[in-house]
A and B are shown apart, each in its own frame.
Chain A
Amino acid sequence: MTRKQKKMLMRIVAALVIVIVLLLLPLKGWLQFGLFMIPYFVIGYDILLKAAKGIRNRQIFDENFLMAIATVGAILLGDYKEGVAVMLFYQIGELFQSYAVGKSRKNINELMDIRPDYANLEQEGELVRVDPDEVAIGSIIVVQPGEKIPIDGIICEGRTTLNTSALTGESLPQDVETGAAVLSGCINMTGVIRVQTTKEFGESTASKILELVENSSAKKSKSEHFITRFARVYTPAVCYGALALAVLPPLIMLLCGRDANWNEWIYRALTFLVISCPCALVISIPLSFFAGIGGASSQGILVKGSNYLEALAAVNYVVFDKTGTMTQGVFEVTELHPMGMTKEALLEWAAYAESYSTHPISRSIRNAYGKELDAARVGEVQEIGGHGVLAQVDGRTVAAGNAKLMRRQKVAYEECTGIGTVVHLAVDGVYAGYLLIADTLKPNAKEAVAQLRQLGLSRLVMLTGDAKNTAEAVAAELGISEVCSELLPADKVVQVERLLAEKPAKARLAFVGDGINDAPVLSRADVGIAMGALGSDAAIEAADIVLMDDDPLKLAQGIRIAKKCIRIVYENIYFAIGIKVACLILGAVGIANMWLAIFADVGVMVLAVLNAIRVLFVRKKKA
């Protein structure tokens, strides 16, 4: 609790004690009235002051004014006990609201707590603790176990395990050693590392992310704008409504020649005023969005504004980029088809034949082999562009390459219908089989597509620059029915524009890419989502939503959070307005009294705030 809140609590307790004592004392008449004014002023003096200031500054219609008029009116009518009670409960509600909001503000800030406070700079052999802002590029900093890495850099000494959960939401620790690039915001868990910085503090990942999250407030959602406009019209409207309720019915009664019953109608008007306070709405809607954005960032999903959260919840079309989004973007040996030898032998021959090549495909074969290569076993190597290689391995001639190479060497080979790149192998002119190399699917890609379907998304489309058969095979495996293949980067924009034109007016289109070469598409889509953006500034700039790691499941998770957030926002809007309108009607016809009015005001607000906080708790759906 802050000092302000503690002071308020003291006032509430003091007023409560006085009220209870007064109720127990056998007092009557003016004496009781006078004594009851003590707790009234103890609890309500600031409201009365604010209301007076508001009138002076021509800012009449606010909740202070409503409360001041309602309670003063009740006291003048002789219902002074109720007047004190209204003020007391109003203040209790305000205190609760302020406490709940402060608490959730703190919780959310803790979730996003990646700001490093200091850096241990190495200067002339000594460690100096400095402000990370003062560290120049290329400096050496030391990070102890338990400390946050303050600035992006490369490890120049030491090995350790990093906790990246604050950045990515991924709880699995990451092992790093000398030569590895490390990002600021990660927590060093086990060993001491020396890091050579590669960026300034302001350009480092942690600073970039914090900047993004803090500026997310600049873009408000439609619901928030609606509430702001609503409150602006609503408060004056109920004030005039209350005035009409207090004056018109008694006048009509008088005209009809009956008893005006002024007290009764003024009491009803005051009840009306207490009910009408708009705080439940005004507080719970931004709180829901804030909790939604906070909850999402704790999962490694950064949302740049509540308008994007709103759009994400309405997403119906999802367009994926293939490479790097649904697939790893790295080649792997997926199949081995040996002829007359073991799989291991085939792989070994291939690895040795390709031992000097730097081509990604060669590298993937060597990675698949995994063992240290003995350079002495390899003799002369001849690379034939567009075909493959001819290499002397253990004194035998190994030909490794595509079908063209096999024909050139006059080797009878087996046609392959698999998906990906084929590397045929022949040893001393005898066909030995082939290896199939392909870009592999991300482990969770299939599950992600299934979850998106479960969420009721109507159309999933995959865009890729790859060949048609590869693209269709990947799409079939994922369960995506619509594919556009062999696209140039510019064609992707055209395709997205076509889909934007086809979609129903209310549906939103999201594009998911890895942020490489797709900035124009990211900005063209209703919601641009960049994946695996950790460390890629361009993607963070271009996208509306940034998934910190490259797990496609995060997409479904993000949509779930957005949907829950929007659902709660609407629940609160309907619930708060519904109860208020019902109570206003009851108040106007005289069924509701002051006590119900207090519930309609404070109770609804408390419930709406509690409901809003629910956004923070999102069940993590496992793959």
Chain B
Amino acid sequence: MKKTYKIEVDCANCANKMEEAAKKTAGVKDAVVNFMTLKMNVEFEEDADVKAVMKEVLKACRKVEPDCEIYL
């Protein structure tokens, strides 16, 4: 399953770091962050609980970039 989220982040490098962090989160098959459109496309694993996974993604992103925001 794929979902798109609106995000808030200040710099392009930080967006790359968020992408890395999201990719490494359990339950996420693939993630792409686009700094220009401020969107995060997340592809989830088959049996993932989307809401719980996204909470973890947000946590992981906050760790690499304290300023970021994902609008769930």
Chain A residues in the interface with B (C-beta under 8 A): 4, 50, 53, 57, 59, 62-63, 94, 97-98, 101, 105, 108, 214-215, 217-218, 220, 228, 231, 278-279, 282-283, 286-287, 289-290
Q: Do residues A215 and B16 form an inter-chain contact, with CB atoms below 8 A? A: no
- 18 extra A-B contacts, CB within 8 A, seeds A63-B11, A231-B13, A290-B37: A4-B10, A57-B64, A57-B66, A59-B17, A59-B63, A59-B64, A63-B13, A97-B11, A105-B37, A215-B4, A217-B32, A217-B39, A218-B41, A282-B11, A282-B12, A286-B34, A287-B12, A289-B36
Q: Do residues A283 and B11 form an inter-chain contact, with CB atoms below 8 A? A: yes
CB distance from B9 to the nearest CB of A (A): 11
Residues in B whose Cβ lies below 8 Å from that of A286 = 12, 34-36
Given contacts A50-B66, A57-B64, A59-B63, contact A218 B16 (CB under 8 A): no
A94 to B10, CA, bound (A): 9
A282 to B14, CA, bound (A): 10
Residues in A whose Cβ lies below 8 Å from that of B36 = 101, 105, 108, 217, 286-287, 289-290
CB distance from B14 to the nearest CB of A (A): 8
Q: Do residues B13 and A279 form an inter-chain contact, with CB atoms below 8 A? A: yes
A283 to B35, CA, bound (A): 9
CB distance from B25 to the nearest CB of A (A): 15
A97 to B32, CA, bound (A): 22
Given contacts A214-B4, A278-B13, contact A57 B32 (CB under 8 A): no
Count of residues in B whose CB is under 8 Å from the partner chain: 20
Q: Which of A53, A98, A218, A287 has the most CB of B within 10 A?
A: A218
A105 to B12, CA, bound (A): 13
A57 to B32, CA, bound (A): 22
For residues 1 through 25 of chain B, which have their beta carbon under 8 Å from a beta carbon of chain A? 4, 10-14, 16-17
A218 to B34, CA, bound (A): 8
What sequence of 0s and 1s flags, for each residue 15-54 of chain B, a beta carbon within 8 Å of any chain A beta carbon?
Answer: 0110000000000000010111111010000000000000
CB distance from B40 to the nearest CB of A (A): 9
CB distance from B56 to the nearest CB of A (A): 15
Residues in B whose Cβ lies below 8 Å from that of A278 = 13
Chain B at the A interface: SS class: mixed
Residues in A whose Cβ lies below 8 Å from that of B13 = 62-63, 231, 278-279, 282-283
Chain B residues in the interface with A (C-beta under 8 A): 4, 10-14, 16-17, 32, 34-39, 41, 63-64, 66-67
Q: Give B34's nearest chain A residue, CB to CB.
A: A217
A215 to B2, CA, bound (A): 11
A50 to B10, CA, bound (A): 13
28 pairs of residues in contact across A and B, judged by CB atoms under 8 Å = A50-B66, A57-B63, A59-B63, A59-B64, A62-B14, A62-B17, A94-B11, A105-B36, A105-B38, A214-B37, A215-B4, A217-B36, A217-B37, A217-B39, A217-B41, A218-B32, A220-B32, A228-B16, A282-B13, A282-B16, A283-B12, A283-B13, A286-B12, A286-B35, A287-B12, A290-B34, A290-B36, A290-B37
Residues in A whose Cβ lies below 8 Å from that of B35 = 283, 286
A218 to B43, CA, bound (A): 10
Q: Do residues A279 and B63 form an inter-chain contact, with CB atoms below 8 A? A: no
Q: Give B14's nearest chain A residue, CB to CB.
A: A62
Residues in B whose Cβ lies below 8 Å from that of A217 = 32, 34, 36-37, 39, 41
Q: Do residues B64 and A98 form an inter-chain contact, with CB atoms below 8 A? A: no
CB distance from B55 to the nearest CB of A (A): 18
Q: Do residues A215 and B41 form an inter-chain contact, with CB atoms below 8 A? A: yes
A94 to B66, CA, bound (A): 17
Q: Give B13's nearest chain A residue, CB to CB.
A: A282
Q: Which of A59, A63, A98, A287 has the most CB of B within 10 A?
A: A59
Q: Give B41's nearest chain A residue, CB to CB.
A: A218
CB distance from A400 to the nearest CB of B (A): 58
A4 to B66, CA, bound (A): 15
A-B pairs with the 8 shortest C-beta distances?
A: A217-B34, A290-B36, A283-B12, A282-B12, A282-B13, A218-B41, A57-B63, A218-B32
